[in-house]
Structure 1
Amino acid sequence: MVRRKDIDGSESVPCFYGKELRWKREAAGLTLQQLVEGSFYGQSHLSEIERGQRRMPRGLAEHVDRVLKTDGFFARRCEDVRKAKARGHADYYAEVVELEERAQDIEEWTPDLIPGPLQLEPYIRAVVHAAHPTEAEERVAEKVSARRERAWLFEDPQSPETWLVMSELVLLRPILAPAEMAEQLAHVVEVARRRRFIPQILPWNVGTHPFMMGTTRLLTFDDAPPLMYTEGMYSGQVIDDPNAVRQYSKAYDRLRAAALPSDLSLKLIEKAAEDYRKGNHPRGLEQGQVAHEQLQQR
């Protein structure tokens, strides 16, 4: 018989909440499946909440309170758990952190920056300081830690499959010293070669194209309709309207068609890292020149 792993309630607020939930459920003599009966959630969802790995939705918390007769305890405390899981992230991004954990596939467009889960500490600090120049070091360190914790999205074998389109301008606009920029881009290549995500570079001179705006992400799920997330500098929005999501999805297909193939994109990132390592500034793709021809000439 496999021994059940205990939950360390001192580890975090979500773990404390989950341990209390398990204790109340077992004291009532209920299995996970019995407790979720009559709700819209499955037993795996509840199991992850008990292990501190997922936030308790308010509707499920209210259902649990009714079944366990806990006088609203779990509904009152689920907001505390949400805030704890969101620590280090902007308020508007808290829901997205949870959605990432449930997603089956993610398609992302980043016109200005390397995606957060691929960023190393110097890059994260540069981005945070640019947006929040007076941020205290304690808060900066918290944001660095929170963003590095999301590295699993591109590195874990169990992570969602991700298709990533980045503007070539991300490579050409150094926000770090050359040596650090080289290390950052080399990290992107290293992770990409593990084949957990498919990278494509959109040439800087491609002209008009879909998503000529901020970061956009399409998330699809096994057990729920797809969602679109768009983000600006100080705000973000989850879009769940089916017609709008369908439009975004078709636009993303057109964006991928305009971008370079994955193998050439990796070579371009690799070449940019090499240029920075040598103290040179990468040259962008030239108008009318095929990417692989230009890469061969360099």
Structure 2
Amino acid sequence: MVKTKNPAYRSFGQAVRRWREAAGMTQIELAKAAQTSQSQVSSIETGEKGTSADHIRRIDNALTAGGALVRRWDELDDHSRGLASWFLDVVTVERESSEIRVYQPLSIPGLLQTQKYARAITQHGHPELTRSQLDERVSARADRQAILDDPDGPMVRVVLEEHVLRRPVGSYEIMREQLVRLTDVSRSSRLSLQVVPMTTAQHPGSDGAFHIFTVPGKAPMAYTETRRHGNADEDPEAVEDYMAVFAELRGVALPPHASRDLMYKIQQEFSHE
């Protein structure tokens, strides 16, 4: 199961709390001094989420830690930055998988996003993020895509909705670049990309997005997430159910070559906008 707290964040959070208590400050006082929120301080201290380097510098200054917290933050695994702590275990599973199945009805999956698309959709969904936080999230998402270039990486099967391809996230230019990216990666022998047409009447994917991970030597895992939480399910019956839904989705989707033709067609339409 996906853990709700990552050990690296939890350990870092404990260090922040020790410095705060040594300074005789409450979470509210620290939040005010560091120009952040009490909920943010609490989340950092409990290891429920990471933060940005800018936040850490301000907290370090507020606690007169002399750079100790900044150095400790810098020592964290680069792959941990920009990712919610509940997602970190999923990224590990992603790297260990031999096959990944993805159904995404609302956006381009993170593994296939261009940096401009990732920035636009993240900024729209989280307008409260600072520039450094946004940079870290986009960078973390790009780092995940290394598995697509790894010759020993997983087979990735993706099913998307046509309306996702037609929504001009950020701008028509950003979306056109994203469609070029999708068209290119869809030619990979280790990536299957299929699109469900908007005219599909009987749709098996009404319950929302999900991933299915197949890891050698381990039980398959189904994964779903909300805006703030992730849920992994290794129950054989649940995983079998998701696999059946994914098979049905592939059945109503266009074949890979027809999906690529549709993506190219939409790309050309955007070129005239």
TM-score normalised by structure 1 residue count: 0.64
Contact 1:153 1:160 in 2 (8 A): yes
1:155-194 alpha-carbon deviations (Å, 9 max, x no partner): 3322100111001111121112112211111011112213
Work out which of the two has the higher radius of gyration on C-alpha atoms and give 1 or 2. Answer: 1
In the TM superposition, what are the counterparts of 1:76-225 in structure 2 within 5 Å?
Answer: 85-225=79-219
Stretch deviating more after TM superposition (162-171 or 190-199): 190-199
Q: CA deviation at 1:208?
A: 3.8
Contact kept, 8 Å, 1:162 with 1:198, in 2: the verdict is: yes
Identity of aligned residues (%): 32
Query: Partner letter of residue 241 of structure 1?
Result: D
CA distance in 2, matches of 1:105, 1:91: 23
1:11-90 matches, cutoff 5 A: 85-90=79-84
State the alpha-carbon separation in 1 of the partners of residues 88 and 76 from structure 2: 8
Displacement of 1:255 after TM fit?
Answer: 1.1
Q: CA deviation at 1:140?
A: 0.4
In structure 1, what is the Cα distance between the partners aligned to 2:76 and 2:208? Answer: 26
Matched with 2:254 is: 260
Contact 2:168-2:174 at 8 Å conserved across structures: no
The alpha carbon displacement at 1:82 in A equals 8.2
Which residue identity lines up with residue 213 of structure 2 in the other structure?
Answer: L
Contact kept, 8 Å, 1:200 with 1:256, in 2: the verdict is: yes
Instruction: Tell me the equivalent position of 1:28.
Output: none
Aligned partners of 2:79, 2:117: CA distance in 1, in Å? 23
Q: Secondary structure of 1:210's match? A: coil
Unaligned runs of 5+ in 2: 1-7, 9-73
Match for residue 272 of structure 2 among 269, 272, 278: 278
- Relative distance call for 1:238 and 1:140 in structure 2 (3 A) is same
Q: Which amino acid aligns with 1:127?
A: I
Higher RCO structure (Cα 8 Å, ≥6 apart)? 2
CA drift at 1:204:
1.5
Corresponding residue for residue 250 of structure 1: 244
Maintained 8 Å contact 1:153/1:159: yes
Q: Deviations over 1:1-50 (max 9, x none)?
A: xxxxxxxxxxxx9xxxxxxxxxxxxxxxxxxxxxxxxxxxxxxxxxxxxx
Q: Do the aligned residues in 1 keep the contact of 2:106 with 2:161 (CA within 8 Å)?
A: yes
What is the total number of aligned residue pairs between the two structures?
A: 201
Structure 1: which 5+ runs fail to align? 1-12, 14-79, 280-298
In 1, Cα distance between equivalents of 2:109 and 2:171: 19
Per-residue deviation, 1:84 = 5.8
The list of structure 1 runs, each at least 4 consecutive aligned residues, that deviate by more than 6 angstroms after superposition, is: 80-83
